Amino acid sequence: MFFTYLYRELSNRRKQTAIIATGMALAIALVIIVNSVAGGVKAAQTTVLQSVYGVGTDITISETATPSTSGGRPSFAFGAGGGTTSGGTTTLSQSQVSAARGTTTFATSVLATVKKTAGVKAAAATLSLQDTSFSGSTTQSSGTSGTSGGTGTGGTGTAPSGTGTAGGTGSAEGGQGGGGFGGGNFSVDSKTIEGVDVTAAAVGPLTSVSLSSGRTFTSADTGKDVVVLDKSYASTNSLKVGSTTTIGTTTFTVIGLVASTSSSSTTASNMYIPLDTAQTLSSLTGKISNVYVTADSSSDVTALKAALEKALPKATVSTQSDLASSVSGSLSSASSLVSSLGTWLSIIVLAAAFLIAILFTVSGVTRRTREFGTLKAIGWSNGRIVRQVAGESLVQGLIGGGVGVIVGLIGIVVINVIAPTLSGGAATTTVGGGGGAPGGTGGGTTTGTGAGYGGAAGGAARFGAQAASATTQVALHAPLAVGIILIAVALAVIGGLLAGAIGGWRASRLRPAEALRSVA
């Protein structure tokens, strides 16, 4: 009797059923798509972070930079006899390996503290460095006098003859029989280096890369001058396994090439060398810049973070979730869109669908006043009427939920077929950038054959730096989780029951005599 009456009522009210089911379907489909895209964005963020911090890294530990502990701008000083002079041309070259600008170094004893903390499965330390090379040449000219200096960009220095200071924008008064540097051509090259613990294979930056050729580190490489290169960097510089490359003034042998396991073109660094070698090369013995930690269980990450913060009050302890906020690029925009607009839009549409279902159900009950009055007159109880109305609303909600699941699945398939590409980057280290060229061009107004002083060759040249990041191109993939489908069905059931409960309550308040009299 219940199902017969239910089928008849839904068949007679197809328009109402279609409207309620459509509203519910749109809401459910949107919930499924937004949750799937959110899952895809989260997975994409993890991919970006893995390219920087390593697969399985739950927590990273660093320290806040201070002027005394962080890497600064490289400074190159050339004395009066600096460089090699031949035929009036002086060639200058210098390389400096130091902590990456903005990177704080701290004692390796922190690693021991981390390993002793309960809940730590594995931990490894790294040292982030930058190798900044300055090279170029200046040409010296001769003459009897020089009345004014040219314009130079870069550092400061004293003209070799006469009175005055050149460098930047200024002039120099020339003396008798003097001369100066007629010009210069300089270049600055920087590369990022990561000193890694060769005995730790379970955590750290190298756990997120794939070996392209050669081999990675073994414990036997401790203290050796061997290097693993990023594949893209090696290709750009025509390096391969077995080649040699210079870091600072030390020659390293290339033992392997690695590439990111994601679709990114680069890994977290240009070069990877043994940690102890990196410490010696940079004169940072006993210093590290990061500690990467894997927890015993993913459910213990929050508790482990609190324990590490307590054990290391000066350290910055970050989880994958914390680091996700540092991801930039279009991936960051997509994350913001999903987390704000997408979530709120889902809530609003879902609330609207529930409201439509309730209003149409209550409206339907009002139009069925005579029907319910007659049913109560022939003996139907209030509970039976409530169950009948709730059953109709529940079926309408389930129909909408079923259609919504299908539409949501189609939407997910479309997203995965299109696979929009997002770019994401997570700041890792900083490298020296080019400031002004310290040579400049000599010139100005001269007397005789003398030349003005074009730039600073005898002084110190300082260069700026800029942040570097590992940029990853990620194809957005919206995963389908059974939990999302179950949540969608549950929402459809809740919507139907809510509408049915309110409509049934409205119907149960009708009195048979008043209902029949109002329609007579």
| pLDDT tens digits, one per residue of 255-295 | 999 987 655 456 778 999 999 999 999 999 999 999 999 88
Residue 39 has pLDDT above 50, yes or no: yes
For 130-139, what is the mean pLDDT?
79
Neighbours of 383 (CB within 10 A): 10
Q: Are the C-beta atoms of 260 and 53 separated by less than 8 Å?
A: no
Determine the Cα–Cα distance for residues 98 and 250; give it in Å rounded to an integer: 14
For the stretch 300-306, contacts whose Cβ atoms lie closer than 8 Å and that sit 24 or more positions apart, written own/partner, are 300/119, 301/58, 301/59, 303/119, 304/58, 304/59, 304/117, 304/119, 304/120, 305/59
For 334-356, what is the mean pLDDT?
72
Determine the Cα–Cα distance for residues 290 and 77; give it in Å rounded to an integer: 30
Residue closest to 400 by CA, chosen among 276, 498, 469, 501: 498
Q: Which two tokens stand for residue 120?
A: 């730590």
Determine the Cα–Cα distance for residues 429 and 65; give it in Å rounded to an integer: 12
Residue closest to 497 by CA, chosen among 402, 405, 392, 403: 392
Least confident span in 53-57, 150-154, 451-455 = 451-455
Determine the Cα–Cα distance for residues 137 and 186; give it in Å rounded to an integer: 6
Which pLDDT score is estimated for 495?
A: 83
Residue 157 has pLDDT above 80, yes or no: no
Write out the DSSP string of 27-51: HHHHHHHHHHHHHHHHHHHHHHHHH
Which pLDDT score is estimated for 60?
A: 87
Q: Are the C-beta atoms of 504 and 390 separated by less than 8 Å?
A: yes
Residue 330: burial class (beta carbons within 10 Å; 0-12, 13-18, 19+)? middle
Beta bridge partners of 422: 474
Residue 116 has pLDDT above 60, yes or no: yes
Cα end-to-end span (Å), the chain: 27
| CB neighbour burial string for 163-183, b if at least 16 within 10 angstroms, e if fewer | ebbbbbeebbebeeebbbbbb
- For the chain, helix (H) and strand (E) counts, in that order, are 13, 21
**Mean pLDDT: which of 103-107, 159-163, 477-481 is highest?**
103-107
Beta-carbon-side half-sphere exposure of residue 176 (alpha carbons within 13 Å): 0
Residue 245 has pLDDT above 90, yes or no: yes
**pLDDT band at residue 423 using 50, 70 and 90 as cut-offs:** low
226-230/250-260 β-pairing = parallel
Determine the Cα–Cα distance for residues 506 and 520; give it in Å rounded to an integer: 20
Residue 147 has pLDDT above 90, yes or no: no
Neighbours of 298 (CB within 10 A): 10
Beta bridge partners of 427: 469
- The packing angle between helices 382-418 and 2-12, to 10°, is 60
Which CA distances in Å does 178 have to 141, 158, 396, 445, 456?
9, 13, 98, 15, 17
Least confident span in 184-188, 211-215, 226-230, 420-424 = 420-424
**pLDDT band at residue 462 using 50, 70 and 90 as cut-offs:** very low
Q: What is the pTM of this model?
A: 0.56
Which pLDDT score is estimated for 51?
A: 58
DSSP-assigned letter for residue 161: S
